[in-house]
Structure 1
Amino acid sequence: MTDTAQKQQAGSATAPGASTPRGGGPPASRGKTTIADGVVEKIAGMAAREVPGVHAMGSGFARTFGAVRDRVPGGGRSVTRGVKAEVGEVQTALDLEIVVDYGVSIGDVTRGVREDVISAVERMTSLEVVEVNIVVSDVKLPDEQDDESDSRLQ
């Protein structure tokens, strides 16, 4: 028996005349997707801001600088203020800096922020969120003026 006949008898996976798939696998597995840090930061920033009790994101200086930038035409609000992400191939880690409203439970707010941020980032990016570190940098008192709404610029 020839080598070709032996291979056909042994159950060769390719039938005579059949073509093999091009590209080496299903279309969804061809190529690589890379998610930029800024994308994860935007998702996390939006999710964190939606948690009741979060008054603002970022340090006092960042909020003041952001308030000025927001008033400049084309400056726009920065949803990434107070958010830093490190993104790997399959995992991400986040650092957030928040200001909470006076009278709310900081533990409840930070728990809510972690849950919402992890849920949003994992759902939208398929990355595993390995940690969300939160720094509460300030408490917004009821009688304090807002840094973001008070500016000398018109």
Structure 2
Amino acid sequence: MTETKPTPTSSPATSPASPASSSSTGAEVATRTTGPLVSEQGRTAIADTVVSKIAGIAARDVNGVHALGGGTARAVGALRERIPGSRTNLSQGVTVEVGERQAAVDLDIVAEYGVSIADLAAGIRRNVIDSVERMTGLEVTEVNIVVHDVFVDDGSEEPSDEAPRVE
């Protein structure tokens, strides 16, 4: 495919445009046609689900994150996990927007009690940005985090040591 360029109406010596403005147009075209996901051999497209799964795993890896997702998403996830043969939804609580060169990530989390939420958010952002950019080549423009709850470990989620009532 051949790209046609408009014919200039004046010569470069008499053009009122500055050299910076004409070179920025060339840089914009070069940016659109080159990059980690675009080469002379073809383009690479990354699905939203891939980025959301990477971001979900990266967020869960940060100490102080108890779970991802709001109340309803966690309830549905808990039901899903009880079904034999089902898998954990690694992108639960993660919403992404993926463009050709950039991605934006929104996370819904439950923090563990006692953890500094500001430090936790900074750690999540750092880990998500590093993981997504390293694995996909996309630039992460923002990571927005909503803390829906604080988990207090009172020991009620551990299995009981009592013998079952029926066999």
Distance 1:105 1:123, change over 3 A: same
Query: Partner of 1:67 in structure 2?
Result: 78
**Across the two proteins, how many residue pairs are aligned to each other?**
120
Deviations 1:90-117 (A, max 9, x none): 0000000000000110001000000000
C-alpha displacement at 1:144, in angstroms? 7.1
Computing the radius of gyration from Cα coordinates, the structure with the larger value is 1
Query: Partner of 1:97 in structure 2?
Result: 108
Alignment of 1:33 onto 2:6: no
Deviations 1:59-85 (A, max 9, x none): 111111101111213321000000011
Query: Partner of 1:85 in structure 2?
Result: 96
Q: Output the amino acid matched with 1:66.
A: G
Identity of paired residues, percent? 57
Structure 1, unmatched stretches of 5+, are: 1-27, 150-154
C-alpha displacement at 1:31, in angstroms? 1.4
Structure 2: distance between partners of 1:74 and 1:31: 38
CA RMSD of aligned residues (A): 1.4
C-alpha displacement at 1:47, in angstroms? 0.4
Q: TM-score, normalization: structure 2? A: 0.69
Structure 2, unmatched stretches of 5+, are: 1-38, 160-167
Structure 2: distance between partners of 1:113 and 1:144: 26
Query: Partner of 2:125 in structure 1?
Result: 114
Structure 1: distance between partners of 2:155 and 2:96: 30
C-alpha displacement at 1:145, in angstroms? 4.4
Q: Output the amino acid matched with 2:78.
A: A
Structure 2: distance between partners of 1:38 and 1:113: 19
Q: Which has the higher contact order (CA 8 A, sep 6+)?
A: 1
Q: Output the amino acid matched with 2:60.
A: R
Q: For structure 1, which segment, 99-108 or 63-72, has the greater mean C-alpha deviation from structure 2 after superposition? A: 63-72
Q: Output the amino acid matched with 1:121.
A: V
Q: 2:66 aligns with which of 44, 48, 55?
A: 55
Q: Output the amino acid matched with 1:71.
A: R
Q: How does 1:127-146 map to 2 (within 5 A)?
A: 127-143=138-154, 145-146=156-157
